């Protein structure tokens, strides 16, 4: 997939996530959602990881961030958690937005080891938040 096409996928997916399903502009962007699902079905975890990182590199709404967590990221870790938990840990160490969305990922069919490591990231992030108002 060319870089230009990939960026169109990211743009359309983000646009669709920020819309209601009955929005007239939703259907023209729905193809991107379907494509991400097909990447999971067709065993393309590298494309999914690239996509997740591309979304995180954008200035997106909280809705989009949470949707990437409970959609593509959760799918990636449920299907290929052992292969991707280390890159997830590395990204969490350097990206606050990413750390913040990890709590939205459900276990589903994640391996016990990948789930335990993900939960360690969630707990570490919760402990790093200062609940004391300034």
Q: Who contacts 70 (Cβ-Cβ below 8 Å, separation ≥6)?
A: 104, 105, 106
Q: Where are the domains of the chain?
A: 3-128
Kindly state the DSSP code that residue 11 receives in the 8-state scheme.
H
Structure tokens at 48: 């999914």
| HEC per residue, 25-61 | CCHHHHHHHHHHHHHHHCCCHHHHHHHHHHHHCCCCC
Report pLDDT digits (tens) over 20-78.
Answer: 777 777 778 889 999 999 999 999 999 999 999 999 999 999 999 999 999 999 999 99
CB neighbours of residue 92 within 10 Å? 20
- Taking only the tens place, the pLDDT of each residue in 69-123 is 999 999 999 999 999 999 999 999 999 889 989 999 999 999 999 999 999 999 8
Predicted pLDDT at 27: 78
């Amino acid at each position: 997939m060319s870089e230009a096409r990939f960026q169109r996928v990211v743009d359309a997916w983000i646009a669709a996530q920020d819309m209601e399903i009955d929005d007239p502009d939703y259907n023209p962007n729905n193809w991107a959602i379907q494509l991400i699902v097909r990447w999971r079905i067709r065993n393309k975890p590298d494309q999914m990881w690239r996509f997740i990182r591309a979304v995180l590199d954008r200035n997106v709404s909280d809705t989009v961030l949470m949707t990437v967590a409970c959609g593509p990221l959760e799918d990636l870790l449920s299907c290929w958690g052992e292969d991707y938990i280390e890159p997830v840990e590395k990204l969490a160490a350097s990206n606050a937005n990413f750390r913040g969305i990890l709590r939205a990922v459900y276990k589903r069919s994640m391996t016990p080891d990948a789930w335990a490591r993900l939960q360690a990231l969630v707990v570490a992030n919760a402990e790093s938040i200062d609940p004391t108002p300034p």
